[in-house]
Structure 1
Amino acid sequence: MQKLTRIITLSVALTVVSGCSYVGVYKRDIPQGNLVTEQMVSQLQPGMTQDQVVYVMGRPLMEAPFDANQWDYVYRLDEAYGGVEQRRVTLTFDRSGRLSNVQQQGNFSRDLPVSSNQGLGPALEGADPLDALPTERPQAQTPDTAPTPQPVIQAE
């Protein structure tokens, strides 16, 4: 009887300790860096200024520490239940600040899923977080907008 109690206790303890592995763990896609798409890269033309490149691509993730004429745009997507996708675009500028070379690494032909959920924590099904916000803000009264007191006329 004592042996059976030990076996049951050990079985329950092992089940509790390894409980998450049976049910499954919630995972999220982890995007990092600058989102780089094929459309963005196709707009790059040799001779563009750095300001024009920033307008098309955004600010670079990395600038070479010893050479400000090389910009790197890196995007990495660690898919929760899949692999890792990485894209890299290295832009080189000449001495006058004009785009001279574009190098690409990674598969740019596939559209990457971009999550539109910007909230904190998981979203509830059917709940809109904007419904909880007030539609109108109350106006704060300043001395200019405060109502002026009316004189009181007393009859004698």
Structure 2
Amino acid sequence: MLPVTDVFERSFIMDNQNLLNEMYQNLQMVLNTMPELTQATTDCDLKGCLEQQEQQFQDFFSRVKQAMTKDMQQPEEIGEIQKKYAEWMTKMKAIADKSTSHLAEMSIQGYTMGMIQLIQSSHKNCDASKDNLSMSTDLVKLYEESIDSLKKYL
């Protein structure tokens, strides 16, 4: 039987890895689908808003990769089928209705799904480091701010 300290240490390490990987995959999904929405819009204001958000998510993605490197963790990539399916569905929905309102709605729905997954992961991996839990909270705030800035386009 493992000593109690070893169990806690393993839980801490696993929760850190799981939370960082969840953030990595979450951001990867956002960054894979955002260009489809940006290309689909003809509204210059919405396009600018989406491009700014994409840069913010890219900066956050770099922050997560840096934390993973610091922890000597290899990221788990999103499966190719899942990635292509998300891109294809985004393209199809955007082709079906290119209105500014619909594209903003699609972005809000995607951000909401990502935010829910991230909050659930934070709760499930509650033994992660304070830094990683704080980073997760910061990402949730970025999602909330992004959603708020898109509401005017609905």
For normalisation by structure 1, the TM-score amounts to 0.27
Greater relative contact order: 1 or 2 (C-alpha under 8 angstroms, separation 6 or more)?
A: 2
Higher strand share: 1
For normalisation by structure 2, the TM-score amounts to 0.27
